[in-house]
Structure 1
Amino acid sequence: MKRLAGAEFAPETTYLNTPGSGLLPARAIDALRDEAEAAASYGTMGRDYFGPAAAARASFARLVGTTPDRVAVGSSVAVSTAVIAASLPEGAEVLLPEDDFSSLVNPFTVRAGLRVRFAPLARLAEAVRPGTALVACSAVQALDGRLADLAAVREAARAHGARTLVDMTQGAGWLPLDAEQYDYVVCGAYKWLLCPRGTSFLVVAADAPQPPASHAGWVAGADPGEANYGPIAHLAEDARRYDEPHGHLVHVGAQHSLALLEEVGVAAVHAHDTALAERYRAGLAELGYAPLPAPGSAIVTVPALAAAHDALAEEGILTAVRAGKLRAGFHLYNTAEDVDRMLEVVKRLDLPRS
């Protein structure tokens, strides 16, 4: 992994804020630079508008265990989630975890006519009941890194006839995930998938209710070249009917970032990331600090260390504070030296333990 980090990443910072946004690899930066220069002669849709998006779609599908025909490209998780929310019948009950990320929650709470219910993440599966239409949750919680018990949620939903929606934004890229196990998947790709911001994906299972393509534009047509004017005569037969007219440059970058992750392999990234997170947890324990419980996660959140954020930043160590807690995430461009450097600063600050 060190060799890879040296070839593709050379950050001037000790970057531990991947849960906020990831770093771009060198190959994506080079491709973006070339395409931006080409835009001066060929326009902002480039010489091949659909090619990079198609390549990104296919790479993402392979990374999460599905097929490209089930994947739509978009720009934000909130838009993709809103497609699902809009498709639910009046009065449908939606079950969500408490304190999940707003892009997953808000499309359901602002949609009039739905009954939205919340439960603690640890008890989400047991909160599914007859009459629940949809259970939605993040695979990994953005706030504290907790992993959802997706198998339990899936089985409870099946037992009660509910559909499932999983937000893979904080997991795809480092956590082995299988999109085929759920009815719907949404994923922002600018974090652990290392894509430019403005890249997201929606997965719709073949046997799930197919939502109306309520935001269908010309790219949603079976033949986009014939769908520019007036009503679309024929929507795409697959998930491409949910495509947004995509940002060309961001998908040029995404194509190369996702290809890198495919080359490394999610299993290798998972082993690397979680080993660094465990090294950090062990070091925190030696210093007397207790992170929030998140077994097996690449994200570590520590309530007592929020005050360390600015001092860490002055040392070039970038983290984030969320809900009054210091959050760090460890990814393929991080090393054991990064962990030890952060622990050295924390030790020197000697902040109160609680």
Structure 2
Amino acid sequence: MKPLTLTEAVSAEFAPETTYLNTSSCGLLPRRGVEAVKLAAELNATGSPDGGSSFDAVAAARASYGRLVGVTGDRVAVGSAVSVHVGLIAASLPAGAEVLCVEGDFASVINPFAVRGDLKMRYVPLEDLADSVRAETALVSVSAVQSADGRPADLSALRAAAAAHGARTLVDATQAVGWLPFDASGFDYTVAGAYKYLMAPRGASFLTVTEEAQEGLTPLHAGWMAGEDIWTSTYGPVRELARGARRFDEPPPFLPYVGAEQSLAFLDEVGVENVRDHNLALAARYREGLVSLGHTPIPADSVVVSTPGLAHRIDALTAADIVVSVRAGNLRASFHLYNTTADVDRVLDVLAD
């Protein structure tokens, strides 16, 4: 059978009723994920033996995510939110450790460190991040793509600088993974919320931990599923923690992972490289259109386009059933595989009025 084109695959899974340009806030769920979650909920509601847990879905999502970011499944921990994973890492740092962050980065990669009160927080512009790593830096925490304006971090430069100074690295790939090919293996820790470009239900998130960095973390969320053999770990102290990153699992909410299994399988079918090319082409068309209207978006090679001076147009766009957002005082549009050139032209037509 001839494989489906991206357009054919998308049309089978998505039918948005708005011009939805807001994946950086929340991605749309593919139809297969919606149906899987509905079935799992019905099984739970009717007392089916298969309705109360979905261990297979969690395992499948863990493995799929690992393949997507270039690590084996045993390097992936699951949870419910990025800030929970980051909190685990923050708790591992000794008092007085220096954490280097980007000015204005997303709160989830800053707050778990900042609220401790006994860490040395240092903030620098995104473009200065790699050059700001120094011998005193214990950890660098940064988003791969900035939520507010789509600017990508120079992760190659960061990795080299951190290695030169012995600093650990934490990269939040929430605004990247799913459209931007991303290799998690070169960083001590990476995190990602799955409800944006991975198009999973809210409540699914992933943490990757290198084998070397694993020994520096305490599995604070360890429940019975953190054991190497979960069925002999249900009562009393755990006999043996999972040998891999599963020891850092936050006990997963099953329904979001039922959906995540399906969303990640869909991304694997269509290919992230194809999604990247599609998304970037739409973002480029939108940027060119903005410039022709006299507006200057913040420069970024990204699917996230943030434009100063247009936040006041949010009401007109909403009235036209166009879903975008305002972040850091700018109008933000974000493009994903279910968007089309017609979507781009529609928002530009409204902005032209």
Q: Does 1:272 align with 2:273?
A: no
Aligned residue in 2 for 1:27: 32
Give the secondary structure class of the aligned counterpart of 1:52.
Answer: helix
Q: CA deviation at 1:4?
A: 2.2
CA contact (8 A) 1:64 1:179 kept: yes
Distance 1:320 1:342 in 2: 13
SS at match of 1:288: coil
Structure 2: runs of 5 or more not aligned: 1-5
Task: Find the counterpart in structure 1 of residue 166 from structure 2.
Answer: 161
Q: Is residue 188–residue 201 contact of structure 1 (8 Å, CA) maintained in 2? A: yes
Tell me how large the CA RMSD over aligned residues is: 1.2
Offset from partner CA, 1:34-65 (integer Å, 9 cap, x none): 11111112369726521000000011111111
Which position in structure 1 is the counterpart of 2:247? 241
Report whether the alignment pairs 1:215 with 2:193.
no
Q: Give the whole-Å Cα distance in 1 for the aligned partners of 2:200 and 2:110.
A: 23
What residue is the counterpart of 1:334 in the other structure? 339
The one-letter code sitting in structure 1 at the alignment partner of 2:280 is T
Does residue 128 (structure 1) correspond to residue 133 (structure 2)? The answer is yes
Q: Distance in 2 between matches of 1:320 and 1:43?
A: 41
Q: Which amino acid aligns with 2:318?
A: A
SS in 1 for 2:15: coil
Which residue of 66, 75, 85 corresponds with 1:70? 75
- In structure 2, how many angstroms separate the alpha carbons of the residues matched to 1:83 and 1:112? 16
Q: What SS class does the counterpart of residue 59 from structure 1 fall into?
A: helix
- 1:287 pairs, out of 286, 293, 312, with 293
Q: How far 1:266 sits from its partner (Å)?
A: 0.8
Q: Who is 2:103 aligned against?
A: 98
Structure 1: which 4+ aligned runs deviate by more than 6 Å?
none
Q: Are 1:46 and 1:248, in contact at CA under 8 Å, matched by a contact in 2? A: no
Does the CA-based 8 Å contact 2:58-2:261 persist in structure 1? yes
| Contact 2:43 2:50 (C-alpha < 8 Å) held by counterparts | no
> Cα gap change, 1:44/1:140 in structure 2, threshold over 3 Å: closer, same or farther?
farther
Q: Is the 8 A contact 1:100 1:141 kept in 2?
A: yes
Residues 213 and 242 in structure 1, CA contact (< 8 A), matched pair in contact too: yes
Amino acid at match of 1:178: D
Counterpart-to-counterpart distance in 2, 1:227 and 1:109? 34
Pairing 1:254–2:260 present = yes
Task: Give the % identical residues.
Answer: 56
Structure 1 window deviating more from structure 2 (235-244 vs 137-146): it is: 235-244
Report which stretch shifted further, 43-52 or 26-35: 43-52
- Aligned partners of 2:240, 2:279: CA distance in 1, in Å? 45
Deviations 1:157-187 (Å, cap 9, x if unpaired)? Answer: 0111111110000000001110001010011
Deviation at 1:2, TM superposition (A): 2.4
Q: Name which of 152, 157, 164 aligns with 1:147.
A: 152
SS class of match (1:53): helix
Aligned length: 347
Task: Tell me which residue corresponds to 2:3.
Answer: none
Cross-structure match for 2:93: 88
Residues in 1 aligned to 2:125 and 2:55: alpha-carbon distance in whole angstroms: 42
The aligned counterpart of 1:59 is 64
Q: Is the 8 A contact 1:73 1:200 kept in 2?
A: yes
Q: Secondary structure at the match of 2:24?
A: coil
SS in 2 for 1:187: strand
CA distance in 1, matches of 2:134, 2:185: 23
Measure the CA separation in 2 of the matches of 1:126 and 1:173. 28
Match of 2:175 in 1: 170
CA offsets per residue over residues 261-305 of structure 1, 9 Å max, x none?
A: 0111111000000000000000011111111111x2000001111
Change in Cα spacing, 1:78 to 1:230, as seen in structure 2 (3 Å) is same
Residues 97-138 of structure 1 show CA distances to partners (whole Å, capped at 9, x for unaligned) of 011100110000012421111110100001101111111100
